[in-house]
Amino acid sequence: MSDVDLGTLYVVATPIGNLEDLSPRAARLLGDVSLIAAEDTRHSARLLRHLGLTVPMLSLHEHNESARIEQLDERLIRGESIALISDAGTPLISDPGFVLVRELRARGRRIVPVPGPCALVAALSAAGLPTDRFLFQGFLPARTGPRRQRLERLAANQETLVFYESPHRIRDTLKDIEAVLGERHLVLARELTKSFETFLDGSAAVLLACMESDPDQARGEFVIMVAGAEERVEADAASLEADALLAALLAEGVGVKQAAAVAARLLGGAKKAWYERTQALKEAR
């Protein structure tokens, strides 16, 4: 059989809450494929009923993904096309599918993304935190010790940090963020695209106080976004040596003009720049 006759695996993004977010292309493909590989077939059955579809489904989750590879590949070889979906959002983004996609791509199978909803991107788009660079970490470790260790390793990152979190761990995670990152600014997105969608701003302590006063704010699925560390401007070794030279000259009673001339002669550069730098050092003494 030629490559043209092989089936295609479509990686299809599905709504994270509002069913109107499903693209027309995604809806059409879900009806056209021979099989849908779904993280939870019972959950995805509701989406298919909404679309009026009766396409066969097969479960594919973290516990059986490796075992499903041969079965799904055989169907692709027979020319059948398959849609891979998760419970909500884009497959592989903190959801199953990576093992399958990696293996099928290594075998030369055709894999086509069908983009759409993703909680990570949706949250960032409305958070008001920098998005030119961000670091997505998925779910933090479930236990406090490893969770704090991970946060400590990320503390110096200047990118916006993004995590997913579940309702039964959100308070503990915020407490650990407060302990490790202190007063860092956070934006917490809850129940995105659903009826009770909420964005909360403030430090971890402020968000915890909100949950204490309104327990409903601790319900649902969360995207935690944390402002990156502020850039540290550190003087390099040459700059420190230059300042030490100027300070020594000033301490010996050398005038600002003369000290600037010495620095320019020894280190190069414009006398005017050295004069301004020396004057600033003198005034700071």
pLDDT of residue 232 exceeding 80: no
Percent with pLDDT over 90 in the chain: 82
Overall domain count for the chain: 3
Q: What three-state secondary structure class fits 189? A: strand
User: Which of 176, 191, 226 is the last residue before a domain boundary?
Assistant: 226
Tell me, what's the pLDDT at 136? 98
Cα separations in angstroms, 54 against 23, 45, 172, 186? 19, 9, 42, 43
Q: Are residues 132 and 148 in the same domain?
A: yes
- Please give the average per-residue pLDDT across 114-119, as a whole number: 97
248-274 in b/e burial notation, b at 16+ Cβ within 10 A? ebbeeebebeebbbebbeeeeeeeeeb
> Is residue 217, in this structure, part of any structural domain at all?
yes
User: Which of 90, 116, 142 is the last residue before a domain boundary?
Assistant: 116
Q: Are residues 104 and 146 in the same domain?
A: no
- Non-local (6+) Cβ contacts of 78 within 8 A are 7
Q: Are residues 20 and 110 in the same domain?
A: yes
> Is residue 96, in this structure, part of any structural domain at all?
yes
> Is residue 140, in this structure, part of any structural domain at all?
yes
| Cβ proximity of 162 and 120 under 8 Å | yes
Confidence band, pLDDT 50/70/90 cuts, at residue 3: low
> Is residue 231, in this structure, part of any structural domain at all?
no
In angstroms, the CA 83 to CA 163 distance is: 27
User: Which of 190, 207, 226 is the last residue before a domain boundary?
Assistant: 226
- Please give the average per-residue pLDDT across 141-156, as a whole number: 96
Q: Are residues 152 and 221 in the same domain?
A: yes
In angstroms, the CA 153 to CA 167 distance is: 24
In angstroms, the CA 161 to CA 232 distance is: 18
Provide the whole-model pTM.
0.79
Mean pLDDT, the chain, rounded, equals 94
pLDDT of residue 285 exceeding 80: no
- Please give the average per-residue pLDDT across 154-161, as a whole number: 96
Confidence band, pLDDT 50/70/90 cuts, at residue 34: very high
Tell me, what's the pLDDT at 2? 54
Q: What is the CATH number of the domain that holds 26?
A: 3.40.1010.10
Tell me, what's the pLDDT at 233? 53
> Is residue 186, in this structure, part of any structural domain at all?
yes
Q: Are residues 87 and 128 in the same domain?
A: no
Q: Are residues 241 and 207 in the same domain?
A: no
pLDDT of residue 239 exceeding 80: no
Q: Are residues 104 and 130 in the same domain?
A: no
Percent with pLDDT over 70 in the chain: 96
Q: Are residues 124 and 216 in the same domain?
A: yes
The range of the structural domain enclosing residue 159 comes to: 120-226
**Minimum mean pLDDT among 138-142, 177-181, 266-270: which range?**
266-270
Confidence band, pLDDT 50/70/90 cuts, at residue 97: very high
Q: Are residues 90 and 160 in the same domain?
A: no
- Please give the average per-residue pLDDT across 154-169, as a whole number: 96
pLDDT of residue 235 exceeding 60: no
Q: Are residues 169 and 268 in the same domain?
A: no
Q: What is the CATH number of the domain that holds 134?
A: 3.30.950.10
Tell me, what's the pLDDT at 266? 86
pLDDT of residue 270 exceeding 90: no
Q: Are residues 19 and 95 in the same domain?
A: yes
Q: Are residues 145 and 62 in the same domain?
A: no
Confidence band, pLDDT 50/70/90 cuts, at residue 134: very high
